[in-house]
Structure 1
Amino acid sequence: MPDYHDDLRLAHVLADAADATTMERFKALDLEVETKPDLTPVTEADKAAEELIRGHLKRARPRDAVLGEEYGVEGSGPRRWVIDPIDGTKNYVRGVPVWATLISLMEAGEHGFQPVVGLVSAPALGRRWWAAKGHGAFTGRSLTSASRMSVSKVAELRDASFAFSSLSGWEERGLLDGVLDLTRAVWRTRGYGDFWPYMMVAEGSVDVCAEPELSLWDMAANAIIVEEAGGRFTGLDGRPGPHSGDAAASNGLLHGDLLGYVGTRR
């Protein structure tokens, strides 16, 4: 099994730098916010954090490619860093502390690019989560101050907690009825949103979560963290990994039940 310790250590360095940049502008009264062509917001902090991470990677991993939400893809080769400088920009703009920087390293393999390192840093929450392929998933302040994560052992949907971001996206895809049926079948539902439900699945405090429309940078880090915690991460079509444009994550025991309600493969 490859040792990704150096890459994981670098991801923490990148996250430290990004956290300093994003926290400096969080709740700033003069924060600059623009609207992108897809009508989603982007702030000066999004751009600054991604530029900072790209600069670090250019020095530390000059041969690796980089894909980021704000500046696209640069470089080529069998290794690619995937960056979401601020996942949850709408929360960031409104002063809600649920946002994070997502950093993943993906490697080319038999089934295309797959994440081998993932880190999610939510500095306004004081939380960080990370994983490397074959080495488990952890949460804590640093590599030397961490606890291992494991998904829940809930085996019945009626005992499960289901988390989602919003209902409008499901309605737009014609999948809302299945989601509403799922909310009636589970024990508890909460709309935590963005990266957080996936981290809760990895920690075992949420059992299933799903979203109907996502980009690779929204999912790559989450996928490896959930899987290394013992869970499953697929698209709504059941395809493993973060490439389906949507996501379903679970403790593994409930994955078939989850896809039975929100899956697109019929």
Structure 2
Amino acid sequence: MSLHSSPYTEDLRLAHMIADSVDSQTMGFFNSMDFEVETKPDLTPVTVADRQAEELIRGQLGRARGRDAIYGEEFGSSGSGPRRWIIDPIDGTKNFIRGVPAWATLIALVDHGEPVVGLVSAPALGRRWWAAKDGGAYTGKSLSSAKKLSVSKVSKLEDAYFSYSSLYGWKEIGRHRNFMDFTETVWRTRAFGDFWSYCLVAEGVVDVAAEPELNLHDMAALVPIVQEAGGRFSSLDGDPGCSGPNGIATNGLLHDAALAALSPDNPSPV
């Protein structure tokens, strides 16, 4: 593989080094299941594994990129400046606490508002996905052992493979009917959920992934991976990137059609 064309290659290498350390820590908790589960004010679960993982990432970023700002799911914002690292220490905590291996650490770099580095490390799956702006998107176990990613060429919704997390949330944003119609229109649906849906879009295995409720830390690392693989990532209203309260990723060819089908302004079945 070659990342020499990206000005963010060294930042990506740093993200890999940090992920190596975090993977060892989170897998220790996952294998032992020796932790208590708490409920945050937003009613989502959190464990000591989430907090310690974020603390480890913050510590290493502080030493290596002391001038950069940091935003993490568990400890919020620190620092200021045009470069900001976005951390989701364990994406898929509900899977994590039940022993399901589909969870990951998400590390992103946003430069002047644009996600330019994204790394997703899922050690229990033995997989990692990453990208840097203008450097391509890859998957594998390490930088030295990687496969370049490319989205699918499916051009019709009726031939598309659609992945999501759950039914929860679609009704709250007024798109439950659209969502149900959409699942009946596409070729196949599966709820791979969380980070995995979007990484599968980048791999070309899934054609559309969408969720009705997302936060910045859920999406920032995924945007460069999808885009560098040739796809598109936006809010359900079409705002590019991860600035909205929800997200949809496609192979690009299906993006406009998927947005239209999932729009609350769509009055009839797709």
TM-score by structure 2 length? 0.95
CA distance in 1, matches of 2:38, 2:44: 8
For the pair 1:122 / 2:126, whether they are aligned, the reply is no
| TM-score, with structure 1 as normaliser | 0.96
Note the 1:190-229 alignment, pairs <5 A. 190-229=190-229
Q: Kindly state the Cα deviation for residue 29 of structure 1 after the two structures are TM-superposed.
A: 3.9
Take 1:66 and 1:15, find their aligned partners in 2: how far apart are those partners?
16
- Aligned partner of 2:7 among 3, 6, 11: 3
Instruction: From 27, 37, 43, give the equivalent of 1:33.
Output: 37
Residue 27 of structure 1: how far off its partner (Å)? 4.3
Give the letter aligned to residue 148 of structure 2. Answer: R
User: Over aligned residue pairs, what C-alpha RMSD do you find?
Assistant: 1.1
d(CA) in 2 for partners of 1:9 and 1:82?
16
List per-residue Cα deviations over 1:66-123 (Å, max 9, x = no partner).
Answer: 0000000000001000000000000000000000000000001xxxx11000000000
> Are positions 1:99 and 2:99 aligned together?
no
- The amino acid that maps onto 2:99 is G
What is aligned with 2:263? 263
1:73 aligns with 2:81: no
**Aligned to 1:168, what secondary structure does the other structure show?**
coil
Partners in 1 of 2:31 and 2:166 — Cα distance?
A: 24
Given residue 84 of structure 1, which amino acid in structure 2 is its aligned partner? D
**Partner amino acid for 1:211?**
E
Which runs of 5 or more structure 1 residues have no equivalent in the other structure?
A: none
Aligned 8 A contact 1:198 1:209 in 2: yes
Q: Is the 8 A contact 1:238 1:263 kept in 2?
A: no
Structure 1 runs of 4+ with >4 Å offset: none
Q: Is the Cα–Cα contact under 8 Å of residues 100 and 123 in structure 1 kept in the other structure?
A: yes
Q: Answer whether contact 2:199 2:226 (CA < 8 A) is retained.
A: yes
Identity of aligned residues (%): 63
Question: Shift of the alpha carbon at 1:12?
Answer: 0.1
Residue equivalent to 1:19: 23
Matched, 1:62 2:66: yes
Tell me what 2:92 maps to.
Answer: 88
Q: Within 2, Cα distance between the matches of 1:58 and 1:150? A: 33
Q: Shift of residue 172 of structure 1? A: 2.0
Report the counterpart of residue 239 of structure 1 in structure 2. 239
Specify every segment of 5 or more residues in structure 2 that has no aligned partner in the other structure, as ranges. none
Deviation at 1:166, TM superposition (A): 0.4
**Contact 2:174/2:264, CA 8 A, preserved across alignment:** no
